[in-house]
Amino acid sequence: MKALSSPSNSSTITGFILLGFPCPREGQILLFVLFSIIYFLTLVGNASIICSVCCDQRLHTPMYLLLANFSFLEIWYVTSTVPNMLANFLSDTKVISFSGCFLQFYFFFSLGSTECFFLAVMAFDRYLAICRPLHYPALMTGRLCNILVISCWVLGFLWFPVPIIIISQMSFCGSRIIDHFLCDPGPLLALTCVRNSLLELTSSTLSSLLLFVPFFFIMGSYALVMRAVLRVPSAAGRRKAFSTCGSHLTVVSLFYGSVMVMYVSPTSEHAAGVQKLVTLFYSVVTPLLNPVIYSLRNRDMKHAMKKLLKI
């Protein structure tokens, strides 16, 4: 990895400075307490879903197995940013090492990529369950479910390594200050000595494919689901079908709505404060809300959680 250097005076630098959320010391401590609580609640909420699915035999179905894997993913997704953010609140230097910065970059984007694929697979599962109910048990077998889960993890972690490795080998000039709470490609590329248009195009193309292909697949799946639901003669049947899909659609809307604001519209139009707030929403707030969304609208999950709490 190249040393961070100034055009006039080259010197070895230990890392970057993540500004995070600049405010007085008292404000930093308050933010530390707030995000510690959010992190703890996120871990507890998602772990509760995993334990509920594992402990309740009735939830050993593809839909809930996918949900348990999704909750496991959310735990690691929020862990890729929040612990370092918490340490940053209490740090005077706010320095993150080169290796730490690019490891965070890799894991944050790989886990985010995996989330996109998981949301698409969960939509596919709902499509089969509602549009092909008689064939669903034969189509969505345990073997297919495991293959889909493994594929999500493998594709997610193989999507971004090449651009990240290339960026890590570039030379960085001038300021080493990143006005963000994590190592994001935009601020990192702004610190490079020479602009690499091909790398920027490649990174933008990979991001667009990652966002739009699963998103259109999800929208197509739910368009077919909606058509099938509207054909159900009874109002009770329609309500049951909508409640089954409503939680997932809410999560998709929250995640994709915020991510597309960041990575589809030109980043130059966003002030640093807006970038941080939007990133904070989809990387920290959404994993906190997901267990609430999935448990509140699902009778089986609520029953399993109540049963788990009595143990």
**What pLDDT does residue 206 have?**
87
Q: What are the percentages of helix, strand and coil residues in the chain, rounded to 5?
A: 75, 5, 20
Given a cut of 50, is residue 10 above it in pLDDT?
no
Q: What does the alpha-carbon distance between residue 58 and residue 22 come to, in Å, rounded to a whole number?
A: 48
Structure tokens that stand for 293 in this block: 């969304």
Q: What is the CA radius of gyration of the chain?
A: 21
DSSP state of 178: E
Strand extents, DSSP E, the chain? 4-5, 15-18, 95-97, 172-173, 177-178
What is the rounded distance in angstroms from the CA atom of residue 203 to the CA atom of residue 90?
33
Instruction: Identify the pLDDT of residue 1.
Output: 45
pLDDT-derived band at 8 (thresholds 50, 70, 90) equals very low
Q: Which two tokens stand for residue 22?
A: 């600049």
CB atoms within 10 A of CB 185: 20
Q: Which of 133-142, 175-184, 242-251 has the lowest mean pLDDT?
A: 242-251
- How far is CA 117 from each of CA 113, 124, 130, 217, rounded to the nearest angstrom? 7, 11, 20, 10
pLDDT of residue 270: 56
Closest alpha carbon to 290 in 68, 8, 28: 68
Residue predicted with more confidence, 112 or 310: 112
CA distance 76 to 33: 20
Please, which pLDDT band fits residue 11 given cuts at 50, 70 and 90? very low
Reported as type and span, the H/E element at residue 236 is helix 235-263
- Judged against a pLDDT cut of 90, whether residue 297 lies above it is answered with no
The amino acid present at 163, given as its one-letter code, is: P
What is the model's pLDDT at position 77?
Answer: 97
- pLDDT, tens only, 240-252: 667 777 888 889 9
pLDDT of 287 higher than 80:
yes
Q: Quote the pTM value.
A: 0.89
Mean pLDDT (whole number) for 40-59: 92
| Cα–Cα distance, 191 to 214 (Å, whole number) | 31
- Distance from C-alpha of 252 to C-alpha of 227, rounded to nearest angstrom: 19
pLDDT exceeding 70 applies to what percent of the chain? 90
pLDDT in tens, 93-117: 899 999 999 999 999 999 999 999 9
Cα dihedral 248, 205, 114, 225, rounded to 10, equals 30
Q: What digits encode the pLDDT tens for the residues 205-216?
A: 888 899 999 999
Residue 135 pLDDT grade (very low, low, confident, very high; cuts 50, 70, 90): very high
- Output the six-digit token pair for 164: 């990240």
CA 214 to chain centroid, in Å, comes to 14
pLDDT at residue 148 tops 70:
yes
Side chain identity at residue 93, one-letter code: T
For residue 197, pLDDT over 50 is answered with yes
According to the model, what pLDDT value does residue 237 have? 66
Q: Considering only 12-21, 38-47, 51-60, 65-74, which range has the smallest mean pLDDT?
A: 12-21
